[in-house]
Chain A
Amino acid sequence: MENLKTLYTAIVEGDAKTAKAVAESAIAAGVPPQQLLNEIMIPAMDEVGRLFEANEYFVPELLISARAMKWALEVIKPHLIAGGAQPAGRVAIGTVKGDLHDIGKNLVAAMLEGGGFEIIDLGVDVGADQFLEAYRTKQVDIVALSALLTTTMPSMKQIIDEFKAAGVRDKVKIIVGGAPVTAEYAGEIGADGYSENASSAVTLARSLVGAG
């Protein structure tokens, strides 16, 4: 459908107004929201991720595409929910205890939201108790930990250890990221996954919740 190709292009090019308008007309024309999401919108964000990996896109392009995705998602969301569809998963995200940096965390949150996840943003300087509270009260599938400083990375391990001590470590997936964090470190502290950037965080989160 020509119209749907326009939605794809609008998301890849970050044209939020067009993305919203095309999503609205597609819903009005009776296109199933699930089909819009799975066949057009998520593949469009995958293409954005590919362009980022290929160095054709940088953070500004990621952000405007994520915004276009968000606008289109807001159009189809009520129809998805009415149709009984669930979000890809629910993520509690925060910058760990002792660390006040939020740019990386906000970027990952924006990209995950564009990837169809529901985001619970716990902010910065977040301790294990707050992550545990979010897990207990909000039915979180994934806990995402961010740290910018080498000095606050150990807080990631403490949080994972607290989930173990609370006996719920295997009930939730924990992913980590941030400038000083490496895949080795993620393995060492027992995280379920590590992402080098905001774009691949979406692929990682999807693989962990089995959403394709």
Chain B
Amino acid sequence: MHPLMARLAATAPVITDGAWGTQLQARGLPIGACPDAWNLTHPEQVQAVAAAYVAAGSRIILTNTFGATRINLARHGLADQAVAINRAGAELSKAAAGDQALVFASIGPSGKMLMLGETSAEELAAAFAEQATALAAGGADGIVVETMSDLDEARLALAAAKATGLPVVVSMTFSAGKAKDRTVMGVTPEQAAVALEEAGADAVGANCGLGIEEVVPICARLHAASALPIWIKPNAGLPVLVDGVARYNTGAAEFVAHVPALLAAGASFIGGCCGSTPDFIRALAATVATGAPQEAPS
């Protein structure tokens, strides 16, 4: 295991951060616009999101680079800005983190399916390598490959991220199948944990897809199948549509009520995904500090 990961795991639980996309939308990111491009066009807003999580008690914050491979950026005509967008994303989070938090830079899926021949292993490897190198150049302390469904794509991203020499977390989204315990591609927590540990991940995890209560058994299964630290970022419940707009129905207080169960299931890193806010992180930090769920500050 990477020495930084070993040091972090020794101080578990480590609080990570919450959602970025919804925070950027609250700061004026238009619907349908490319969030990652804001690293260049609205850097102060991106840094403000990062700073809000640091102030709320995150010990690790991510970056606004989830969709910043050149493959994703090409949809917005921004492929040639991939290096600049990733580098700026890492720099903005580092500036907000100061000496209060570490920055684990986000790499999301390409949005193309290998099996359908929409992309190739070579194209994916090159795109992830370009992104990971730029994130490292921007000062990232680690890399999180997240929201993955396909093990092959996850392994390609992991290999590219590891080549930077930084510690790498790989987190997949388990929400498919009757028991909601598979990725869309049918991968189980056990298969993910074993394959990713073998491929050299420094931590494995689950993010997005499920709420915190549903992710507890997934966490336990990842933990049972792997010796690696477990990284968990659930959604704030499941989205409910109100007038065509998604609302997440779990509040911060309800969210942290499940944290003791998640810790018991072996989670070392805890944060939130879609629908979570700095309030969730504040409540999480308070819960972890005292060992008991706290009321969320209003």
Do residues B177 and A55 form an inter-chain contact, with CB atoms below 8 A?
yes
Q: Tell me the nearest residue of chain A to B72, going by C-beta.
A: A100
Do residues B239 and A150 form an inter-chain contact, with CB atoms below 8 A?
yes
- When distances are taken between beta carbons in the complex, the residues of chain A under 8 Å from B185 are 58-60
Q: Which of B158-186 contact A (CB under 8 A)?
A: 176-179, 182, 184-186
Q: Which of B84-118 contact A (CB under 8 A)?
A: 111-113, 115-116, 118
9 contacts between A and B (CB under 8 A): A55-B178, A59-B184, A98-B31, A98-B32, A101-B111, A103-B116, A106-B116, A149-B31, A150-B241
**Is residue B26 within 8 Å, beta carbon to beta carbon, of the partner chain?**
no
Do residues B245 and A106 form an inter-chain contact, with CB atoms below 8 A?
no
Given A58-B177, A180-B241, A180-B246, check contact A103 B31 (CB 8 Å).
no
Do residues B32 and A153 form an inter-chain contact, with CB atoms below 8 A?
no
* Shortest distance between the CB of B243 and any CB in chain A (Å): 9
Q: Tell me the nearest residue of chain B to A185, going by C-beta.
A: B241
Interface residues on A, range: 20 to 34
Interface residues on B, range: 20 to 34
Do residues B31 and A151 form an inter-chain contact, with CB atoms below 8 A?
yes
User: Main SS of the interface on chain B?
Assistant: loop
Given A58-B177, A59-B186, A98-B32, check contact A150 B245 (CB 8 Å).
yes
Complex: how many Å from CA A106 to CA B115? 11
Do residues B113 and A103 form an inter-chain contact, with CB atoms below 8 A?
yes
Per-residue CB proximity of A142-157 to B under 8 Å, as 1/0? 0000000111111001
**Other-chain contact of A103, B112, B176, B179, B244 (Cβ < 8 Å):** B112
Q: Which of A107-138 contact B (CB under 8 A)?
A: 107, 110, 124
* Shortest distance between the CB of A149 and any CB in chain B (Å): 8
Do residues A153 and B118 form an inter-chain contact, with CB atoms below 8 A?
no
- Extra 12 A-B pairs, beta carbons < 8 Å, given A58-B176, A107-B113: A59-B185, A64-B115, A98-B31, A100-B111, A103-B118, A106-B118, A150-B244, A151-B31, A152-B32, A157-B244, A180-B246, A185-B244
Q: Tell me the nearest residue of chain B to A64, going by C-beta.
A: B115
**Other-chain contact of A110, B116, B178, B182 (Cβ < 8 Å):** B116
**Is residue A42 within 8 Å, beta carbon to beta carbon, of the partner chain?**
no
